[in-house]
Amino acid sequence: MKSGDATGRKTLPRHVRTLIVGAGFGGIGMAATILRDDPAADVLVVERGDDVGGTWRANTYPGAACDVPSALYSFSFAPESEWKRAHGTRAEIYAYLRRVSGELGVTRRTLFGCELRDAQWDGERARWAVSTSRGDLTADVLIVATGALSTPTLPKVQGLELFRGKMFHSAEWDHDHDLTGTRVAVIGTGASAIQFVPEIVGEVDRLTLFQRTASWVMPKRDHAIASPVRSLYRRFPLIQKAVRGAVYGQKEMYVIGMTKPLARKCALPLFEKRARSVLRKQVPDPELRNRLTPDFAITCKRILLSNDWFPAITRRNVEVVSSALTAVTENGVVDAAGNEYPVDTIIFGTGFTPSEPPVAQHIRGEDGRSLADVWSGSPSAHLGISINGFPNLFLMYGPNTNLGHSSIVYMLESQAAYIADALRVMRVRCLDAVEVRADAQRRYAEELDPMLAGTVWNTGGCSSWYLDKTGRNSVMWPTFTWHYRNRTREFDAENYALRATNSGVRA
């Protein structure tokens, strides 16, 4: 592969040993893991954006920040001693990823402005034929690290094309559009909205907030990290490592209340009591407070962390509409009761589609069917990584690897180690291809599904993006993260069909 310049822009090679799609946390971590084992490895990362960073590059909306503590939201092999807050801001995390990617040699192996358009497994040649927006190439191994929250989704609402004002998704924030003195409709009250609404509510004339479902909100334990503490971390890295371990251990305990029925009966009422206390103190109007109180078990959907959400939406220039958006007109938005609200701008905080990732439509396996067709709206993969019928394909942040209690970076590191070991096994054993066996993938699903059945995500009385269109939970990991790390510590070749290279050497 030709070496690139400092920006990572280079010509597309005709062939590469390992092709990684996506340069967010998953892609950077995967490439860095491969390069740490073999600095001369033939690996290329393709990224449709103009820089590394993934969701932290793309999401620039006001107030964007992380709800996982900074101590845990970073690679274990690339600690950051300069976090200025207990919860990193978007700017901090983006800067961290750019630095790590550059220092570990990932950036110079990344081709930006290069979007995957099609990938077809060529069984005869045992490689992937890949088409991108920058040209075509082949790859022995394809690793998809596009993330679960990479492509924003808009609701299917009548009249969207009629609206004369400005309209955009929070993940595609229009910074050139001035909201000062305007009438704004915000659709959705999820993790993005609770961050950007408090930032813009003081600028707008009127804000109409469409809340289809109320969310449980807890205080965000955020604070500045003092300069002496950061200096201590720089001088004594083991102290920072110990803090990371302590935060990890604390977060790991939360999963007990989410997944163990007996513990849930004891722990969740305490969480709910705390959330109700915050709501009672910050929302004095009993009628509005009632509409802002969820009717499902806490943690059934993602708990939102904020210290300024309720104060923001109880301002005099905010109206909370407790229904879904049903239509859009030329000059406004319409609720379920048929009431129209005149607005100048519509901002969608309507999230993503993790159970139906768009990239799955562009990856076709041995029989020519796309991954989306094989999944049929209910993704499944061995360890969330490998799919029968798709040799030499590995997923980062695949099905059932999302967390409700800890840092996804921990899971991504586990997956990267597993995939890197698979590449090592392929190299040592002179293998053309590895494909997880159908029975192994089925057994894994049969093990996972009963574990998920008793969790709060399945029994808590809510409808969330954790459940796919079949009603199956194809998103969440149902137990401790260290269980997952143990399962992925080594490549389990016994669960794969292995195809040896006839000549013993890769062509």
- Rounded mean pLDDT of 369-388? 96
Asked if residue 452 lies in contact with residue 473, where contact means CB atoms within 8 angstroms, the answer is: yes
Radius of gyration of the chain (CA): 23
CA 450 to chain centre: 24
With a pLDDT cut of 70, the percent of the chain lying above it is 96
* Measured distance CA(156)–CA(165) in Å, rounded: 18
Query: Of 347, 388, 396, 341, which is closest to residue 147 (Cα–Cα)?
Result: 396
pLDDT > 90 fraction of the chain, expressed in percent and rounded: 86
- pLDDT > 70? residue 6: no
Mean pLDDT, range 363-387, rounded to an integer: 96
Contact 308, 472 (CB under 8 A): no
Q: Residues of 425-446 as b/e, b for ≥16 C-beta within 10 angstroms? A: bbeeeebbbbbbeeebbeebbe
CA distance 381 to 198: 39
Give the pLDDT band of residue 274 (cuts 50, 70, 90).
very high
> What's the average model confidence in pLDDT over 278-290?
96
Structure tokens that stand for 122 in this block: 């060529």
232, 207 contact by CB (below 8 A)? no
Model pLDDT, residue 502: 64
Pair of tokens at residue 58: 């793309």
Separation CA 410–CA 457 (nearest Å): 21
pLDDT tier, 503 (very low <50, low <70, confident <90, very high otherwise): very low
Distance of alpha carbon 471 from alpha carbon 152, whole angstroms: 21
- This prediction has a pTM of 0.93
Residue 263 has pLDDT above 80, yes or no: no
Summarize pLDDT for 211-252 with one digit per residue, the tens: 999 999 999 999 999 999 999 999 999 999 999 999 999 999
Tell me the per-residue pLDDT of 440-469, one tens digit each, with 9 for 90 and over: 999 999 999 999 998 999 888 888 888 888
Residue 475, pLDDT above cutoff 50: yes
The domains of the chain, with CATH numbers, are 15-151+353-500 (3.50.50.60), 160-221+244-348 (3.50.50.60)
Confidence category of residue 266, pLDDT binned at 50, 70, 90:
confident
Higher-pLDDT residue of 277 and 266 is 277
Q: Flag whether pLDDT at 196 surpasses 80.
A: yes
Say what the pLDDT of residue 4 is. Answer: 42
Q: At what angle are helices 25-37 and 408-428 packed, to 10 degrees?
A: 40
Instruction: Report which of residues 413 and 356 the model is more confident about.
Output: 413
Residues 6 or more apart in contact with residue 306 via CB below 8 angstroms:
194, 195, 198, 217, 219, 220
The pLDDT value recorded for residue 150 is: 65
Three-class SS state of 96: helix
- Quickly tell me which residue has 């013993």 as its tokens: 504
In this structure, what DSSP letter does residue 183 have? E
> In this structure, what are the phi and psi dihedrals at residue 20, rounded to the nearest 5 degrees?
-110, 130
Least confident of 154-158, 401-405, 473-477: 154-158
Mean pLDDT computed over every residue of the chain: 93
Q: Is the pLDDT at 53 greater than 70, yes or no?
A: yes
Which pLDDT value is given to residue 147?
A: 84
pLDDT in tens, 307-340: 999 999 999 999 999 998 999 999 999 999 999 9
145-168 per-position pLDDT tens digit: 998 766 788 888 999 999 999 999
Query: For residue 429, which amino acid is it?
Result: R
Return the pLDDT at 52.
97
State pLDDT tens for residues 56-103. Answer: 999 999 999 999 999 999 999 999 999 999 999 999 999 999 999 999
Query: 1 pLDDT exceeds 70?
Result: no
